[in-house]
Chains A and B, each alone.
Chain A
Amino acid sequence: SAVISQKPSRDICQRGTSLTIQCQVDSQVTMMFWYRQQPGQSLTLIATANQGSEATYESGFVIDKFPISRPNLTFSTLTVSNMSPEDSSIYLCSVVGRASTDTQYFGPGTRLTVL
C-alpha cells in the first residue's frame, strides 16, 4: 500500500490569489494524478503528473490555471492560479500502487474555499 499526505489540509483564500498544494507519497510510484471534487459532485480528473516532463491535462483543464510539478517519484504539487469562488473544491492526489493491477490510493484531500 501507499501512504499519501497532502498539505495544506484546508485553506481559505481570496479571489485572484494562488495556492500550491503538496502531495507526498511514502514510496516511489509511477503514476500520480490530481482530481477535483466540487461541492455535491463526484471526482473529476484534472491531470496526470508526469515525472520529469509536463503534466497531461484533461479536457477543460489548462496548465496556466493548474500548473503541476513532479520533480521526483514521490512528490508533486498542484497550483490553483488566479482563484475564483468556482475553484472552491476538494483537491485530491492519488497514486497507483506498484503493480498495474493494484488499487489507487488517495490522499486525504485539500479543502479549498475561495471568497
Chain B
Amino acid sequence: KAGVTQTPRYLIKTRGQQVTLSCSPISGHRSVSWYQQTPGQGLQFLFEYFSETQRNKGNFPGRFSGRQFSNSRSEMNVSTLELGDSALYLCASGTLSSGLYNEQFFGPGTRLTVL
C-alpha cells in the first residue's frame, strides 16, 4: 500500500499570499488530520476530517481552513500568509472505527517558508 502523500513538499510564498496544501491518505483511510510544526511551538493540531466532515479544530485563526473530498483526499488553505506561518505542515491518516483507537500514519510534510 502506498503511504500518505503530501504535495508540494516545499513551498516559498510571500506575506499576504495564500497557499493550498494537499494530502492523499492511505487507501481505505477515511480520517485525515493536519498538524503544524514550528521550532518554537512544536507540533500542534490544526484540524481533523472524517468522511468530508470536520470533526475537530485546533486553536488556529480563521485564516487556516481545510476540506476533505469524497475520495478522502484533503486540502488545507492558509490565507493572508504571515511570517509566523512558516512551518512544516504534516498530515496523518487513520481509519477511525467507532469505539476503537487507530494508529495514525504520517505523511512527509510540506515545508512552507513565508518571506
Partners in one complex: no
